[in-house]
Amino acid sequence: MASRNVSAGRILEVLASGRSALRGRDERVVVRVHVDPDCPREVALAVKGALVPERPGVVVEVLGLRQQAPAGELPDVAVVLVGPASCAALVESYARAGVSVCLVVEGALDAPRLDLPEQAERLVGVVACADAGDVPDRLAAWLASSSDKSLALAAGLPFCRAAVAQALISRCATENAVVGAVSLIPGSDFPIMTANQAKLALDLAAAYGRDLDPARALELCGVVAGGLGWRAIARAAAGAVPGVGALLKAGIGYGGTIAIGNALRLRFELEDRPAPDRAASPAPERRPAAGLGAPAPADDYVTIGGGRA
């Protein structure tokens, strides 16, 4: 009876996690970009091409370094494209207000010196890319690690999806490794690990903009089947090598979660790829975040995805 109660509790826990993932996917998230008009053009174009929201909940605001920000709402994250002009005061104001700030520069030495307390200084990151082609991946990695709205960012900004997915997979794999290492009752780790992997599957679906539909049930069945397979491998390995059961279970819990998570990630990425006939036809026009790569208007700003343009 106890095991049935635990199983029912785990199922309810997974269902609650699915609802939470959907709420996280649909959160409003504001990314504010400040552009030095003399920043490297290739870097600005790379950021411009990446910050193209696909969901209405993601708002990208583009301002100059000296433009006054909209009153009443701080952004969730700020990105500053650094050029010759000083941006230290702007960056410090965001960090002191508790906003994570990313400085996009060509070289690490181009980042301004800041006068911040340690807690605020942790909110400032530097993305240094001599090759503008590296900017989207490094910016995505920073966003995935710096925002507490990573599901919304991934769902709304496709260039963030792989980085957010990898962060989710790594976190779940680490949790399952710990569960496998410290489990004291034989078999008690399996429902915990499987529930964690099921939550991961729902989080990944949300990060790729998916809804809770019958396809999710099939994915969860696959997770459970995969968990049973990894459990059998762990038992066989523990029997073959006595005395290292906890270590083996930790390693298999980690590796199995990585494998399941990456399989789901690859599935979503394959689904998102355009069909060959679509790839050959002209792509529909997408509106990039205006203002990047050129001086922003002196008395205005452009918001893409939030009802103003």
Mean pLDDT across 264-273: 91
Whether the pLDDT of residue 214 is over 90: the answer is no
The SS3 call for residue 209 is: coil
Angstrom distances, CA of residue 174 to CA of 88, 154, 179, 202, 223: 37, 21, 9, 18, 17
Residues linked to residue 127 through DSSP beta bridges, in sequence order: 104
Least confident of 17-21, 88-92, 141-145, 297-301: 297-301
Whole-number percent of the chain with pLDDT over 90 = 55
Boundaries of every domain in the chain: 2-24+163-273, 29-148+284-304
Dihedral Cα 43, 51, 110, 73, nearest 10 deg = 150
Q: Does residue 2 register a pLDDT over 80?
A: no
**Cβ(32)–Cβ(301) below 8 Å:** no
Report how far apart the first and last C-alpha atoms of the chain are (Å, whole number).
59
Q: What is the pLDDT of residue 185?
A: 64
Please give the residue that has the higher pLDDT: either 104 or 223: 104
Residues 6+ apart with CB under 8 A from 139: 47, 50, 79, 102, 104, 127, 159
pLDDT band at residue 291, thresholds of 50, 70 and 90?
low
Select the more confidently predicted residue: 182 or 278: 182
pLDDT at 127 over 50: yes
**Would the pLDDT of 231 be above 80?**
no
pLDDT at 215: 72
Residue 4: pLDDT above 70? no
Average pLDDT along the chain: 83
- Better pLDDT: 96 or 253: 96
Residues 154, 208 contacting (CB under 8 angstroms) = yes
What pLDDT, on the 0 to 100 scale, is given for residue 14? 82
User: What pLDDT score was predicted for residue 299?
Assistant: 34
Identify whether the C-beta of residue 238 lies closer than 8 Å to the C-beta of residue 245. Answer: yes
Q: Give me the pLDDT at residue 116, please.
A: 93
What is the pLDDT, as a whole number, of residue 50? Answer: 96
101 contacts 125 by C-beta, under 8 angstroms: yes
Calculate what percentage of the chain has a pLDDT beyond 70. Answer: 79
For the cut 80, the answer to whether the pLDDT of residue 245 exceeds it is no
Reported as a pLDDT band with limits 50, 70 and 90, residue 31 is: very high
* Residue 225, Cβ density class (10 Å: 0-12 exposed, 13-18 middle, ≥19 buried): exposed
pLDDT > 80? residue 16: yes
Query: Residue 305 pLDDT > 60, yes or no?
Result: no
CATH classification for the domain delimited by 29-148+284-304, as one of 3.40.1130, 3.30.70, 3.40.50, 2.70.50:
3.40.50
Closest CA to 75 of 97, 56, 54, 50: 97
Does the pLDDT of residue 54 top 50, yes or no? yes
Q: Which pLDDT score is estimated for 218?
A: 74
The single residue listed with the structure tokens 């780790």 is 189
User: pLDDT per residue over 65-122, tens digit each?
Assistant: 888 777 778 999 999 999 999 999 999 999 999 999 999 999 888 899 999 999 999 9
Tell me the pTM: 0.81
